[in-house]
Amino acid sequence: MNSNDKKWTHLHTWNEILSQAEVWKGVLQMLRRSAPAERIIDTSSDQQEWLFVGCGTSFYLAEAAALSWTLLTSLPARAIPASEILLFPRLLAADGQKQAVVISRSGRTSEAVRAARVLREELRIATLGVTCAKSSELEQICSESIVLSAADENSTVMTRSFTSMLLCLQFLGAKRAGKLQFIERMETMAEELAPRVRTIAAEVEAFVHRTEFEDYVFLGQGPFHGIAREAALKVMEMSCSYSQVFHTLEFRHGPKAIVTPATCLTFFLSETAQKEETEVLSEMKELGGATVAICNRAGETIQQASDLVIQMDTAGDELALLAPYTVPCQLMGFFTGLRKGLNPDEPKNLTRVVILD
């Protein structure tokens, strides 16, 4: 039975997940001509600390973007939830120059908009808005904004908006660092992944239908930790399943106590630390957990220790793997939600935008 006969092909979330690689290609082409992107790079100085700000999925995006930024530019960067800026503004020590990036698909999330206003108007910090919505409050407040309207979604949960805004920030970091080869590698990755997304979807769908789990753990180091946090949120939002996140090697220090055959452990394997991360993967398999390895290319050890292996098999730089690594877990949340009789387009308890009084 092909996917056209399946009952979910009309869902916004399904079509938005499937469209990602094509949207990435368009976003990267647009950024090559983006005047705001040029201005931000030209006006930022070398002494700045970069603050990446968001809520929910957009905060986990901020985490992946901040570590990507430092690895690309060698500049200090950190991610902070918008709420922390509002509740504990003294966390933003006054010392040193800062540049802020506020991320919000809708550009309307109350905490994100309020944080942008505090940053720009009270703390006098230059603030870039990154959003998918046209003419938003965020865009009106920020000194510069990049609007990725092609990545916007009808769905409540964020999928292609997450990966596209992440690629946008990695593009800016590479541009800031003069690493134009990295931009070409992102473009190559998007070209190579476009024909593979449906295959990955079929692999994840089959895995979800042959297994059933009580809880989920997502493990990643370095910039992959932000991806692990987003993966956990996708599974929580779309399937109402209990998910936890740890730095991969941290899982040995106590949390592994929870491992049973009903625990699904997903490993986001970096290139830098793949040996050490794969050792944890093998140990958790020996403990009896169910294991999923998301990697670029899987050697024999990874294959033997995994119940499911999703390989990207792309020539891209390690940081170019962050966006495609997110796709299998968007699909894990999607298919697990369907199997539990839920509708990923209408996630329980959630609204598309959190607006506070």
Residues forming contacts to ligand F1P in the complex (CB under 6 A) are 55-58, 104-106, 109, 112, 156-158, 350, 352-354
Query: Do residues 294 and 269 lie in contact, with contact meaning Cβ atoms separated by under 8 Å?
Result: yes
Task: Please give the distance of CA 229 from its chain centroid, rounded to a whole number.
Answer: 8
* Nearer of residues 206 and 356 to ligand F1P, judged by Cβ: 356
CA distance 218 to 243: 8
How distant is the alpha carbon of residue 180 from its chain centre? 22
Closest CB to ligand F1P among 202 and 355?
355
Q: How far is the CB of 156 from ligand F1P (least distance, A)?
A: 5
Bridge partners, 264 (sequence order): 216, 290
For residues 68 and 104, which CB has a smaller minimum distance to ligand F1P in the complex? Answer: 104
Instruction: Give the number of other CB atoms < 10 A from CB of residue 236.
Output: 18
State the nearest-atom distance from the C-beta of 71 to ligand F1P, in Å: 23
Question: What is the residue whose two structure tokens read 């290319």?
Answer: 297
Q: Which residue in 330, 324, 23, 12 sits closest to 149, CA to CA?
A: 23
CB of 243 to ligand F1P, least distance (A): 14
Minimum distance between the CB of residue 57 and ligand F1P, rounded to whole angstroms?
Answer: 3
CB of 51 to ligand F1P, least distance (A): 16
Any idea which residue has 């973007």 for tokens? 65
Residue nearest to ligand F1P (CB): 56
Distance (Å, whole) CA 304 – CA 21: 29
Q: Evaluate whether 128 touches 40 at the Cβ level (below 8 Å).
A: yes
Q: What is the length of the chain?
A: 357
H or E segment to which residue 98 belongs: strand 98-104
Residue closer to ligand F1P by CB (options 150, 353) is 353
Q: How far is the CB of 45 from ligand F1P (least distance, A)?
A: 28
3-state helix, strand, coil in the chain (%, to 5): 55, 15, 30
- To the nearest whole angstrom, how small is the minimum distance from the Cβ of residue 299 to ligand F1P? 35
Which residue, 104 or 248, has its beta carbon nearer to ligand F1P?
104
| Residue number with CB closer to ligand F1P (180 or 350) | 350
Nearer to ligand F1P, 231 or 265 (CB): 231
